[in-house]
Amino acid sequence: MAQIPGKMVLAATACLLVLLGTAGAQGGGELRFCLRTEPKTFDPLKVADDAAVSIRYLTGGVLLRMNRQTQALEPELAHSWKVSKDGRQITFKLRSGLSFSDGTPFSAEDVAYTVQQLMDPALHSPTGDAFRSGPGPVATKIISSTQIAITFPAPVAGLDRLFDQVPMMSAHSPKGEMAVLGPFMVADYRPGATVLLKRNPNYWKADAQGRKLPYLDSIRLDIQPNRDVEMLRFKRGELDLINSLDSEYFDKLASTSPQLVHDAGPSLDSEQMWFNQVSKAPIPAYKKNWFRSLSFRRAISEAINRDDLSRIVFRNHAQPAAGPISPANKFWFDSKLHPQAYSPDAALKLLETEGFRLENGTLKDREGNAVIFSIVTNSGNKYRERMAVLIQEDLRKIGMQVNVVTLDFPSLIERIAQTFDYEAAMLGLTNMDLDPNEQMNVWLSSAENHQWNPQQKSPETAWEGEIDRLMRAQAASADAKKRKESFDRVQEIVVEHAPFIYLINKNALSAISTTVEDASPVILHPQTFWNAERLTVRAAR
């Protein structure tokens, strides 16, 4: 019998050891992309900035998760949940046998601890603010180690959806906030340079074949505020994706590598302009009369060519806006609304009904004042500056002289929120949440962000009073259908009275390397890595 040589035995043993060694690692590769700012915190309850939101999404384990593609709520750490009829209580049934990244077991006690932390006034949690429906404490009742009931002092609209933003924290782990239940955990952080996330070895999910998720070994997040550098690095293959892309960059990249770019359609973001209607604003009384005139505002809206804004400024990567809610928000968008048609002739007719008249190409009001006003916007945003130039030309066609003023952001905010020393403003609204409750601070007449006339003691117009009533009604109801009816009416009133003149909804543009597999960009944040746990990066680079 032939003997097996000793060298062959050694080689076979070495191969076996290598195979055993790699069995633990799944070889999903490393995903690399940029954060545009430094994350301000790793505490998931204190998160307020985009970079920290991205890290929270990748590391935090939540009870319920909104599927970014279907916009439906799906069970995560809780396998089922129930909201009481009065909208004050939610009961979760948790999955059993789960543990945090450091091995600490997860139970209802951790949920209670997280909720107490979240609602602690001393913590000033921006996420917690959405749950503050009324005065009084939030009660948590641990029914068993896998069941918990949370009771709020007043009804919270869309209560279950809010838990999408609340990662569970461990009540007992010595690692505190760094012990996570999400697919990844923070392994290394170099301020100003990189955040390295590694696979959470205790992550509870597996795919249909029983393979543990996530597939990726790690995610490297480079902190890079310069978009040109980000683009350059992506082109060189040093990055695997760009989560949010400008239309100009998109087209440039599309012209050379169309397979890398993705236009997911209209996003939740909108661009709008409004006129200053604040009573105490230091602007002439006759201008205040213009800005408070419904016909004036509607005429402006009709005189703006939104198709041109979309086609020229955003290179067709935007859609004319119909109203406050983008069609991207499938449930809350009021399908009865349509973008305002461009009609300078109709705008002029509307203005004539208010006593305006065109004299030698100049529009004058009833008292003979030429219609001249300024639009302020923030300097450095080239898309907004270009929109302002197009609007300036559109309004010139109906005899209005518009002066475009760009200001640095602090000066702009001071004028629109404190001194009210401006005439018209143009800014954008970035929506992270689908639920209209997030916009309470915009629509209530007493709110600070009720931009055209903030902090009113009581509604100054009947329609603002009606919006207040409808917003409060929808917030107090747990019935989704009734809430939708109320908020549809809010949208219709806003379009009818044009306190905000909605211009466009930008498309969600992204770039993804062909080495990334199973990427499916969506319109909701995080557009490209919402399914990070199922992404893989091929090694070939």
Partner 1 sequence: MSVFRKLACAVLLLVVSLSMAANWLAPAGYAKQYRTQPNAPPTRQHWLGTDEVGRDRFARLLYGTRISLLLAPAAALISTLIAALVGGLAGYLGGGWARIAMAVTDLFLSLPWLFLLITVRALMPLNVSPLASVLVTFLMLGMLGWTSAARVLCATSRSLRGSGFLLQARASGIRGVRLFLVHVLPNLTPVLYAQFWISIPVFILSEANLGILGLGVAEPMPSWGSLLKELEGLVSTGEEPWKFAPLILLVLVVTSFQLVLSNREEMAA
Size of the site for partner 1 (CB under 8 A): 37
Do 478 and 86 form a contact (C-beta atoms < 8 A)? Answer: yes
Q: Which of 196, 404, 429, 440 binds partner 1 (CB under 8 A)?
A: 404
Binding region for partner 1 (CB under 8 A) out of 244-252, 317-325, 358-366, 519-527: 244-252
Amino acid at 70: T
Closest CA to 57 of 72, 76, 70: 76
Does 248 sit near partner 1 (CB under 8 A)? yes
Residues 6+ apart with CB under 8 A from 73: 64, 65, 66, 67, 160, 161, 164
x/- string (CB under 8 A) for partner 1, residues 484-503? Answer: --------------------
Gap between the Cα atoms of 133 and 162, Å rounded: 12
DSSP 500: E
Shortest Å, Cβ 466 to partner 1: 32
Q: Which of 62, 219, 313, 504 binds partner 1 (CB under 8 A)?
A: 313
Do 250 and 244 form a contact (C-beta atoms < 8 A)? Answer: no
Q: Which of 411, 430, 455, 514 binds partner 1 (CB under 8 A)?
A: 411
Shortest Å, Cβ 406 to partner 1: 4
Binding region for partner 1 (CB under 8 A) out of 41-49, 72-80, 406-414, 448-456: 406-414
Binding region for partner 1 (CB under 8 A) out of 189-197, 294-302, 419-427, 508-516: 419-427
Does 232 sit near partner 1 (CB under 8 A)? yes
Gap between the Cα atoms of 292 and 252, Å rounded: 43
Rg (CA), the chain: 27
End-to-end CA separation in angstroms for the chain: 48
SS3 221: strand
Do 473 and 465 form a contact (C-beta atoms < 8 A)? Answer: no
x/- string (CB under 8 A) for partner 1, residues 211-230? Answer: ----------------xx--
Q: Which of 249, 342, 356, 502 binds partner 1 (CB under 8 A)?
A: 249
Shortest Å, Cβ 107 to partner 1: 52
Q: Which of 354, 421, 460, 492 binds partner 1 (CB under 8 A)?
A: 421
Does 407 sit near partner 1 (CB under 8 A)? yes
CA-CA-CA-CA dihedral for 466, 469, 474, 475, to nearest 10: 140
Site for partner 1 in 340-399 (CB under 8 A): 372-374, 376, 379-380, 382, 385-386, 388-390, 392-393
The smaller minimum CB distance to partner 1, of residues 49 and 248, is found at: 248
The smaller minimum CB distance to partner 1, of residues 414 and 438, is found at: 414
At 171, give phi and psi (nearest 5°). Answer: -80, -20
Residues linked to residue 443 through DSSP beta bridges, in sequence order: none
DSSP string spanning 72-128?
Answer: -EEESSEEEEEE-TTSSEEEEEEPSS-B-TTSPBP-HHHHHHHHHHHT-GGG--HHH
Could you list the residues that contact partner 1 (CB under 8 A)?
A: 227-228, 231-232, 248-249, 252, 308, 312-313, 372-374, 376, 379-380, 382, 385-386, 388-390, 392-393, 401, 403-408, 411, 414-415, 421-423
